[in-house]
Each structure stands twice: as structure tokens, then as C-alpha cells.
Amino acid sequence: MKDYYRVMLGRKSIHAKTAFDENFIGADFEINQDLTSDLTDNWREFNQKFIPIFLQIHPDKTKIGAGLACGALWVVSKGIRKGDIVLCPDGYGNYKVGEITGDYYYAPNAVLPHRRPVNWLNTSISRAEMSAALRNSTGSIGTVSTISQYESEIEKLIGGVKAPVIFSTDETVEDPSAFAMEKHLEDFLVANWTQTDLGKNYDIYEEDGEKVGQQYPTDTGPMDILAIKKDKSELLVVELKKGRASDVVVGQTLRYMGYAAEELAEKNQKIRGVIVALEDDQRIRRALAVSPNIEFYRYQISFKLIKQ
């Protein structure tokens, strides 16, 4: 089995050409030391050691930002295995495809010094060829994101076969059409956050002016939206149902809230959750009756034609 990742090669792909020419992927985060002896199989142990180091280097950062950076550093250096496939944007609307061929090595005084060797394939994928769901996942903020759920689509694109318009390989998705629509809704919700009821009291989490709160990575998958109360007293986990079974989305929301409480929250910060769905789902409401820290929101879609 192999996994698939989207890896950024510097902010706005600034180091992509160097990485393509020298056959590597890499990360930086200004941690200038060889990580070889620290790359345990347990990323939590890595984060426990390096989050304090990262915060010393970047005292203006939060635990959320530090966790995101150290987690990405571990994934690039250790989590991605030999034989896994990486898609790396070239900065011009295409993704270079490569296979990881070796273990971590440190390249001091070089760009992206925490590196993995790569065999770049003689192919690339145009962003325009991707399904909307894959475009959204590959376009997420952050150094690295997992896109293994799109394995079939990626392999078809590598082989030159156009992917279907509606595409979902998640076995928990009951309605692929709803999944596709609500993925677009997630992007719409993020873009129009300030006009929503949630946006009155919460902001989508940002680092350095970028909304890192959309598809924020955790050890059990990415949460749809991570937000923070305007007075910084609460973190908010927002999950869209996306055609998934009710029990699944409630369980995932609880797991993400647990992750936020253990790994992200500052001292005295509370954790709340929100589930958003198209219909007034009785099964979700039953589950939430004993989960007072999670609220349910129903969305409405308004559509009209205007004659010009």
C-alpha cells in the first residue's frame, strides 16, 4: 500500500525548481539541526520535543501554529514512506508527481534542509484536470496534506484518464452528490464566514495572515474548520456532514474536539463543536442530546434566475 500527499516546496512554491532539479522534497521551519535521531514512529513524541523548540525560535506563534509546523516537519521527514507518491505544485497551475525513494537526510545551509529523495516522474497534473474535491484538497493551506482518499483519481490522471465529475472513495459517505455539494459549501462558508452567525463570535484560525483553520490536520484526519472565539477564550471545531452517516460525523467531531483539547488549546481555553447539515437530522440530534458542547446548524440554499 502507498499513500499520496500534496507537499508545498516553500511559500508559493518558491523552491520548487530547485527541488525538481535536485530530486528532493523538503521543509524548513528554521529548525537548524539534524533530526535523524529524533524521528520516532510516534509523531506525538516528536511534537512534544520540538514544539517548545519551535516556540523559542518563534515566540510570537501559538501552540496551534507550532503544532501545525512541527507536525508537517515530522510528516515530510518521517511520516511519508518510501514508495509514497507526492504531488508538488510548480507555481504555474501544475503539480509535479514524484515517488519517495529514500529516508530523511539533513542538508545544512541549503533551502528546505530537512529532505527526502524523490524520483520525479515524467508527468504532471494540471489543476484544471482535477475534480473539485481534489482541487480543494491540494489547494489547502499548509506544507503538507494527505490526499490518499483520491488515489483512484490521481492514478487515472497520471495515466491520462479524465476523472469523473463527482468522486468520493470514502466508505463513510452515503451520498456522493451531497459530499460534492457540501465540499463546495465548505469553501463558500470560509469565504463568507463574516456574514454567518458563527462569524459574529468566531474567526477562522489564521497564522501569518493565512487561514490555516480550513482542513486543519489532526492525527485522525483533517477537521473541516478550526475557529477561535474573538476573545480567544474558545476553540471551535466545525464539521459539515458531507453526505456521511450521522454517527460518523458526530464521532469525528468528538475526536477532533478531543485533539484540540489535548494538542491545541492554550491554558483555560474551552472547546466547542458545530455540525452543519442540509436537513434537520434526527439521528444527529439524538446523539447531540448527550453532547452539550456540540451544536447543530442547518443551512439553506437559495437559487434564482435573473433575466438580463
Confidence bin at 303 (pLDDT 50/70/90) = low
**Is 119 in contact with 50 (CB distance < 8 Å)?**
no
**Is 133 in contact with 168 (CB distance < 8 Å)?**
yes
Question: For 176-298, CATH number?
Answer: 3.40.1350.10
Q: pLDDT digit string (tens) for 166-224?
A: 344 444 444 444 445 555 677 788 888 998 999 999 999 988 777 889 888 887 788 99
pLDDT at residue 163 tops 50: no
pLDDT at residue 160 tops 80: no
- DSSP code of residue 250: H
Could you give the residue range(s) of every CATH 3.40.1350.10 domain in the chain? 176-298
CATH architecture of 4-158: Roll (3.10)
Listed in order, strand segments (DSSP E) in 54-209 are 85-89, 94-100, 105-106, 114-126, 144-146, 202-204, 206-207
Could you give the residue range(s) of every CATH 3.10.590 domain in the chain? 4-158
Residue of 42 and 75 predicted with greater confidence:
75
Q: pLDDT digit string (tens) for 11-53?
A: 899 999 999 999 999 999 999 999 999 999 988 899 999 999 9
